[in-house]
Amino acid sequence: MRKLYINGISSISPQNEAIFKGSTPQQYENNILPAQAQDYKSLLQPMMLRRMSKGVKMGLFCAKKALDEAEVKIPDVILVGTGQGCMEDTEKFLSNMLESEEGLLSPTSFIQSTHNTVAGQIALDLNCNGHNMTFTQNSVSFESALIDALLQQNDQNIKNILVGGVDETSNELTGFQRLDGQIKKEGHRNLELYSSQTSGTIISEAAAFFALGSEKLKHSYAEFKDVEIINSLDEKILESRIENFLKRNDLLVSQIDAVILGKNGDIRFDQYYDQLQNGMFSATCQLGYKHLVGDNNAISSYAFWLASKILKEKKIPRIFKLNALNCARPRNILIYNQYLGRNHGLILLQDL
Amino acid sequence: MKGIAVTGMGIISAIGSNLEEIYSSLISGKDGISYPEILATNHTNLPVGEIKLSDLELSEILNLPKAHFYTRTALLAMHAIKELLKKSELAQFPEDTGFISGTSVGGIDKIEAHFYDFQDIVEYRKYIQAQHPGFTTEKIAEYFGLTQTVTTISTACSSSANAIMMGAQLIESGRLKRVIVGGSDCLTKFTLNGFSSLKILSENKNRPFDNDREGLNLGEAAAYLLLEAEDCIKGKPVLGRVKGYGNSNDAFHQTASSENGEGAFQAISKAIKKAGILSSEIDYINVHGTATRNNDLSESVALKRIFGRNVPDFSSTKSFTGHSLGAAGAVEAVFSLLSIQNNEIFPNLNFDTEMSETGLTPVTNFQKKKIRTVLSNSFGFGGNCTSLIFQKDA
């Protein structure tokens, strides 16, 4: 089977990418974390920018940066995972429609409310006629896109695949998540997320995109090995499912050098991670990221970004660490994430 | 390569709530276009392909408890998948069955109904997650005990066609043995007003490929196929094969199709290549044919580019069902398989005059014809173009 190399990466999140180099982390207290501002104009046309929602902006910007780094002009495939999709425009059209009681409406926000707007806009910008897919399945939206990456690379003509995760927030629709217990009731400092004894989490807007290629470059980051999604599972069999996943990739638990966990401070569901921390990965270097970038349906793409950085630079910044164990030479990194106890995702990356 | 076996199907649409009803409508030319009665909208002058069962009636048919959290899209999907299950001779789906659902609307019906209530009325808050289409898919999965590979594709009007393509690839690659693929979308005020704001809804019954077509009628539907790997078939009847598929992006405009139909042209070309057939082997095309001025012209141009002067028999069955958005690809996959099974072409209704630009004439009357290979097109917003090729089991 052909290999898939991570040849370009880019992330926009509530933290700067420089956090990997040790810059001071951004702190938030109101449980909805905005993405860091970017110089969007450097890559996107100002006229287009004005019409773009945050998700489209972040997605297109990251896509271009990742492709640039991989020296790819037009990828063969564009894959996007986005849970909530284009919430800003959905909310805009919905509230205009309700307020006007189905009166005369401008189509602009309706046009841009479609879930595949980001993937479509990337294709439009790059003039890319290739396979173009958008997945939206809660916390495995990005993982679903990764599955498609593996499927598409079975075609020998496919050389470069752009894959990414993006989710934006909007006032009302994201605000509703405070009402149904998804977002913590009381304002919570992001850096103290894991010591929270309450339900709910902190939600964010973010995007991360990757240029995957069948050819290894001098500056490639890592190899994307495998991915699996499991819609629902009993906590008791989580460990055996992970073992099977590793076995499929000829790996033992002891060969995992670092595990990146999607722990989000929700006391109702963090036991999935606790179990792994105290169980099969108790002797493994454990990392977390949601205390820095919050949670959203495509945030595992941030973990993918983090794993890529670690495998290339062979270092693990302390700010991500959940335990005191070190890992001198990270080779295999496992990413595990779930949301509200459902939609479990496993991703495996390997060094070159 | 034989293609991936289709071993089951289930469907509900405006022309019937099961395969038999739908088949009988198709052969007798009975459309399901009417004015909205179930959808509470002010646009009562806009014809739709509406399923005349309320959420409550659908819930009763499905024996659901009164207090449930299913969106209408989920109810329609469950109805269709239940039919699939019943006809499959399975008591329930095996544990390793995957589920890939396509939807554009998802649970927007619940969000638009309760947008102003969430703040004050606690009991509606169970629908807050419905904003996310994956929530609808997850509830359907839960109902059928599907716990493994479950995901949602949302690429507007090609969503369920893409779900079928992905399912076929999952089996081909050996990642799955068995997968339910298809899609569901219900009528909502959100989409009806959205398409109305784009001024592409017709105030009359839609007339695909007609020179004087005025736009589309929105519809609602759910349709699903069961795809199985060879070693699972074990003598079961095979309804047809997913022989080819291809997705391509038009990369022209967020909602409009290009003049030269590039996306459609490339999607069809890929599907033909994947199927390993000659374009002349295609016996019938179930076209996307939404009856908008833009789509039908662009699709005609693409067809002429592929087939030259020999465009195969084709028809748009959206004249029966309306355009059921994310579900349309799966609905038309079922129709394509019915064509193959029965050696019949279902007509393109309401057609009178050929388009001046391309002069193509669809099949306008029910026709008996030997059908081995069918091409089915589904194109969506975001330039998303998908073509599927179904073939009779050899």
Summarize pLDDT for B274-294 with one digit per residue, the tens. Answer: 999 999 999 999 999 999 999
* Mutate: best of A115, A158, A182, A248, partner B, most B CBs <10 A: A115
Summarize pLDDT for B327-347 with one digit per residue, the tens. Answer: 999 999 999 999 999 999 999
What number of residues does chain B have? 394
Which of the residues in chain B have pLDDT under 50? none
Alpha helix stretches (DSSP H) within chain B: 19-28, 55-61, 72-87, 108-114, 133-143, 159-172, 189-197, 230-233, 262-275, 293-307, 318-321, 328-342
User: Using the beta-carbon criterion (under 8 Å), do B162 and A133 form an inter-chain contact?
Assistant: yes
Q: Collapsing DSSP states into helix, strand and coil, what is residue B148?
A: coil
Q: Find the residue in A nearest to B42 (Cα).
A: A102
CA distance, residue A139 to nearest chain B CA (Å): 9
Q: Domain residues for B150?
A: 4-233
* Mutate: best of B185, B195, B197, B260, partner A, most A CBs <10 A: B197
Per-residue pLDDT of chain A (352 residues; tens, 9 = 90+): 789 999 999 999 999 999 999 999 999 999 999 999 999 999 999 988 988 999 999 999 999 999 999 999 999 999 999 999 999 999 999 999 999 999 999 999 999 999 999 999 999 999 999 999 999 999 999 999 999 999 999 999 999 999 999 999 999 999 999 999 999 999 999 999 999 999 999 999 999 999 999 999 999 999 999 999 999 999 999 999 999 999 999 999 999 999 999 999 999 999 999 999 999 999 999 999 999 999 999 999 999 999 999 999 999 999 999 999 988 899 999 999 999 999 999 999 999 9
pLDDT for res B66: 85
B252 and B372: one domain? yes
pLDDT for res B394: 81
Q: Collapsing DSSP states into helix, strand and coil, what is residue A166?
A: strand
B58 and B133: one domain? yes
User: Using the beta-carbon criterion (under 8 Å), do A111 and B381 form an inter-chain contact?
Assistant: yes
B101 and B168: one domain? yes
pLDDT for res B1: 75
Domain-terminating residue out of B178, B207, B233: B233
B215: left (phi over 0), alpha (psi -120 to 50) or beta: left
B270 and B291: one domain? yes
Q: B60 phi and psi, to 5 degrees? A: -65, -45
CATH number for B21: 3.40.47.10
B124 and B163: one domain? yes
B229 and B254: one domain? no
Q: Identify which of B129, B154, B190 has the shortest CB distance to residue A85.
A: B154
Q: Find the residue in A nearest to B141 (Cα).
A: A231
Domain-terminating residue out of B233, B263, B281: B233
B220 and B353: one domain? no
B297 and B214: one domain? no
B274 and B194: one domain? no
Q: Find the residue in A nearest to B251 (Cα).
A: A124
Task: Name, in order, each residue with C-beta under 8 angstroms of B330's C-beta and a sequence gap of 6 or more.
Answer: B11, B102, B160, B161, B163, B164, B181, B182, B183, B222, B223, B224, B225
Do B107 and A159 touch, CB atoms closer than 8 A?
Answer: no
Transcribe A179-192 into DSSP letters: HTTSB-SS---GGG
B67 and B33: one domain? yes
Could you give the domains of chain A? 5-213 (3.40.47.10), 224-350 (3.40.47.10)
Summarize pLDDT for A211-261 with one digit per residue, the tens. Answer: 999 999 999 999 999 999 999 999 999 999 999 999 999 999 999 999 999
**Rounded-to-integer distance, Cα B210 and Cα A189, Å:** 61
Do B391 and B243 touch, CB atoms closer than 8 A?
Answer: yes
**Rounded-to-integer distance, Cα A83 and Cα B132, Å:** 6
Domain-terminating residue out of B233, B255, B271: B233
Q: Identify which of B131, B170, B194 has the shortest CB distance to residue A93.
A: B194
- pTM for the model stands at 0.98
pLDDT for res B90: 87
B206 and B262: one domain? no
Q: Collapsing DSSP states into helix, strand and coil, what is residue B201?
A: strand
Give every strand in the sheet of B218-219, ordered side by side: B33-34, B48-49, B218-219
Structure tokens given for A10: 């880019």
B228 and B246: one domain? no
**Rounded-to-integer distance, Cα A138 and Cα B106, Å:** 13
* Mutate: best of A137, A158, A230, partner B, most B CBs <10 A: A137
**Rounded-to-integer distance, Cα B197 and Cα B191, Å:** 10
Q: Using the 8-state DSSP alphabet, how is residue B256 labeled? A: S
**Rounded-to-integer distance, Cα A205 and Cα A222, Å:** 26
pLDDT for res B343: 98
| Helices A54-69 & A87-99 angle (0-180, nearest 10) | 160
Instruction: Tell me whether strands B48-49 and B218-219 are parallel, antiparallel or unpaired.
Output: parallel
**Rounded-to-integer distance, Cα B167 and Cα B173, Å:** 10
Handedness of CA A306, A309, A311, A314 (dihedral sign): negative
User: Using the beta-carbon criterion (under 8 Å), do B382 and A135 form an inter-chain contact?
Assistant: no
Do A138 and B106 touch, CB atoms closer than 8 A?
Answer: no
The domain tally of chain B equals 2
User: Using the beta-carbon criterion (under 8 Å), do B254 and A343 form an inter-chain contact?
Assistant: no
